[in-house]
Amino acid sequence: EDATHIRRNILFAFEEAERSNNPAERAAYLTFAIIGGGPTGVELAGTIAELAHETLRGEFRNFSMDEVRVILIEAGPRILPSFKEHLAAYAKRALERLKVEVLTDHMVTECDAGGVHLGETHLATRTILWAAGVQASPAGAWLDLPCDRAGRVLVEPNLTAPGFPDVFVIGDTAHVEDDEGTLVPGVAPAAKQEGRFVAEVIRARLAGKTPPERFRYKNDGSLATIGKRAAIVDFGWVRLRGRLAWWLWGFVHIFFLIGVRNRLMVALSWLWIYWTGQRSARLITQSGSEEREVSD
């Protein structure tokens, strides 16, 4: 649902820019701000840039795609802080080749209907994509548990809720730290490891055995794609960048899909997009009296 909503807003912005006769309003519709320079922000920026400068080029008459601005905003000194510096630097260069503007050391202080505030600077845009972390589910508030600033429950070492030894909290709802005190990332591999650990604890309790006392996260590696031609991969023992890394990124994502049919369909869809540059559907849907559907 989120992906469909994002696609709708992006395509709707191009349609509104096509209809607008106000230069300032058109510029705001053609400016896309992505807040957060992690893997999600980098992937969004690359995808939107390719959509504008390749997929949709030549389809609008009242403006040029060269007017489109895709801006990636990161509060820290560099994007992709979880990757090695040389891989993050490559990702930045790859984004800039796609005409993405990368702003580091810029903290967003406010977002409103008119755009984004970077301290005293105002960036006019009608499309803001937040990729700097999400608010946790309200599970901590339900039980009145201690939480961090994002609402994640400060769990015990065995992933139980403080004061509730029979309640386990995992995934995006849990604030889990490794042995060095570093926050375990809120990604699917971490949640799966936490799920397996909780299963081991419950199984040991039911069997009358001593359950494991502490969850230990194993980082299996990090991947990020930059458009459809480049990616970076960091498995610790091997680090890749470029086209080969992109193919490896795609293989890993397809491998973990459930069912042969899903893997085959996604693989064929991605290959079609890769070789033709065309996406299978470009829909704009809205609710209420403004509902409409546009397809190529």
Least Cα distance to 76 among 117, 95, 36, 104 occurs for: 104
∠35-38-39 over CA atoms, to 5°? 120
Kind plus residue range of the DSSP H or E element containing 116: strand 115-118
Q: Read out DSSP for 165-197?
A: EEEE--GGGEE-B-TTSPBPP-SHHHHHHHHHH
Structure tokens at 152: 């994640």
| CA separation for the pair 94, 79 (Å, rounded) | 12
72 and 253 in contact (C-beta within 8 Å)? no
Q: Which amino acid is at 100?
A: V
Helix (H) or strand (E) holding 47: helix 39-50
How many CB atoms within 10 Å of residue 101? 15
Non-local (6+) Cβ contacts of 99 within 8 A are 49, 53, 68, 70
CA 288 – CA 291 distance, rounded (Å):
6
The span from the CA of 218 to the CA of 189, in Å, is 9
Which residues are 71's β-sheet partners?
33, 101
List 15, 16, 25, 43, catalytic entry: 43
Distances (CA, A) of 160 to 116, 146, 174, 271: 39, 12, 10, 44
43 included as an active-site residue: yes
Q: Which residues are catalytic?
A: 43
